[in-house]
Chain A
Amino acid sequence: MTATRHDVGAEADFVEDTLTPVTIEGQAVVVAKQGGRVYAVPDRCTHAKFPLSDGELLPGKIKCIHHGATFDLETGRATMPAIKKLRLYDAAVEDGRVIITLQQA
């Protein structure tokens, strides 16, 4: 397993309380900015694989607009109709840039 770090843009480019889709090496990822922090998850709902970036960012969770599943930003826990936890990528702001770490198998 190797971890690769990716700079996806300036922190200022990401709007507070919004979901922003980015592509990292062909993979669809969605970035959430809330309460001064950034989060990154795969842009794929674990329920029916629709894009999470179409959805909403609620306090502490992402809501998939397609069938109403929500995912906790801290734990990835899912609510119906999703069952599987959402993978959480390492995301942080360093020197004003948003850095996302992906694990490659």
Chain B
Amino acid sequence: MSDAPMQHPDADKLTGMQHEQQYDFQLPEKYFYKSEKGLNKRVIEKISYFKGEPQWMLDFRLKAFEIAEKKGRPKWGPDLSALNFDEIYFYIRPNERQGTTASWDEIPEEVRETYRRLGIPEAEQKVLAGVGAQYESEMVYHNLKEEWEKKGVIFLDTDTGLKEHPEIFREHFASVVPPEDNYYAAINSAVWSGGSFVYVPAGVEVDVPLQAYFLLNAENIGQFERTLIIVEEGAKAHYIEGCTAPTYNSDSFHSGVIEIVAKERSNVRYSTIQNWSHNVFNLVTQRALVYDHASMGWLDGNLGSKTTMKYPSCYLLGDGAHGEVLSIAFAGTGQHQDAGAKMIHAAPNTSSSVVSKSISKGLGCSSYRGLVQIHEGATNAKSNVECDALLLDETSRTNTYPYIEIGEKTAHVGHEATVSKLNEEQIFYMMSRGLAEEEAMALIVRGFLEPVAKELPLEYAVELNRLIELEMEGSVG
């Protein structure tokens, strides 16, 4: 565990800014098309029309809408009663050209301005291979390094993916998460817009992470990205997603679906840190199919939003497949993080590991909800789940709901969970060594998160450190 926070080149811009202050701005709204409020057939038909989609996709959307209506909202989980569809705009198309853009300079100034205010420095972009930016439900900016294009790597927004690669698209789309799977998947299937389409051909290793940024700006916009990532045999890719949204009064709604297919011997990683403003409902379905000797890792950071429900899953379908979830959650007053992981072992010699670290502060509630399922025939399956919760205040809450279903006698499955609070003796000791109380608390919290935090991409680590400091400030006295 390092003693000092990592130094980011633009750290001076970020110091001293309170989270809320920093994000409490809005850019003037300039839209080409904004749907009526609420969800109905008309809105769905407009979405498909503006995107110029093939008939099968429109039929798919309408069928999904029917499925959602029949299913009705699920009754389990955190309280979502404040989420009112009638007050949400399900589609907004900004006045920007879509498709691939040659360079950072071509992105509209105000979009770049937003990113700057959010602290994503331009310098980063040069290091990273490809960046797709989602601005109000559409992919605005996209960049892909030439060498990868030559190797056949496809990294596009989902709309363009559908148009330019219909066969691959249709083969895999909704094959991992069918619309009937759950209510929010059905909603996403009806109104999805934007997201990334990634295809890595066999044997290609993409060394530098593929990145995408998402942004919500308009009041009451729903964000429904649909991401499809296909990594062929022996290929490798790391996809990073970070999202953030300015603060406003009415509730926002983010319901994404991420489908990943990790073919034989591939290595796939999907990292995301979510720092939505505290009025966003963040309900996401993330699922990967993992084949023989492939390895899939989800890194899931949930720091923002009002309520998050997210359980990255790995279906281990091939011999020797491996799945991993590293999860961090932070819930302050007014927040409820309900996150976890699902590991389904359906082949021999599979392994899975889940490490979940959650912190609750003030009146916040952070829950772990997970599933480990070992089917008969998944011989020698090994699974380990560790979930630890740190409660900072007397009023903080945590729950764990792990389901462990085993039908194979040769499986070894372990699950451990602990709940603890800040160790007062440790804090006292550090203070006696000259640290301020908040610094001592921040140090302990960073130590608690370290096993997962050390796997975070660089800029996330900085954001996380900053957040810890901000949260510890004002928690003393």
Contacts and interface: CB of A to CB of B under 8 A. Distances in A.
Interface of A: 64-69, 79-81, 83-84
B317 interface: yes
Nearest to A83: B346
A64 B177 CA distance: 14
8 contacts: A67-B178, A67-B180, A68-B181, A69-B178, A79-B175, A80-B178, A80-B289, A83-B375
B315 A68 contact: no
Given A80-B176, A80-B289, A83-B346, A67 B182 contact: yes
Nearest to A63: B180
B372 interface: no
B212 interface: no
B344 interface: yes
B346 A65 contact: no
Contacts of A64: 180
Given A81-B315, A83-B346, 9 more contacts: A66-B180, A67-B178, A67-B181, A68-B180, A79-B175, A79-B178, A80-B176, A81-B178, A83-B344
Contacts of B177: 80-81
Nearest to B378: A83
B175 A83 contact: no
B179 interface: yes
A87 to B, nearest CB: 13
Contacts of A83: 315, 317, 344, 346, 375
Nearest to A66: B180
B375 A68 contact: no
Interface in B66-115: 70
A2 B395 CA distance: 62
B364 to A, nearest CB: 31
Given A80-B175, A83-B346, A65 B315 contact: no
Top 3 nearest A-B pairs (CB, nearest first) are: A68-B180, A68-B178, A83-B346
A88 B284 CA distance: 35
Interface string B142-177: 000000000000000000000000000000000111
B176 A68 contact: no
Nearest to B317: A83
Contacts of B180: 64-68
Contacts of A69: 178
Contacts of B375: 83-84
Nearest to B176: A80
A83 B375 CA distance: 9
Contacts of B178: 67-69, 79-81
Contacts of A66: 180
Interface in B173-228: 175-182
A64 B178 CA distance: 11
Contacts of B70: 65
A81 B317 contact: no
B271 to A, nearest CB: 23
A67 B181 CA distance: 4
Scoring A64, A65, A66, A67 by chain B CB atoms within 10 A of each residue's CB, the highest score goes to A67
Contacts of B175: 79-80
Interface in B272-300: 289
Nearest to A65: B180
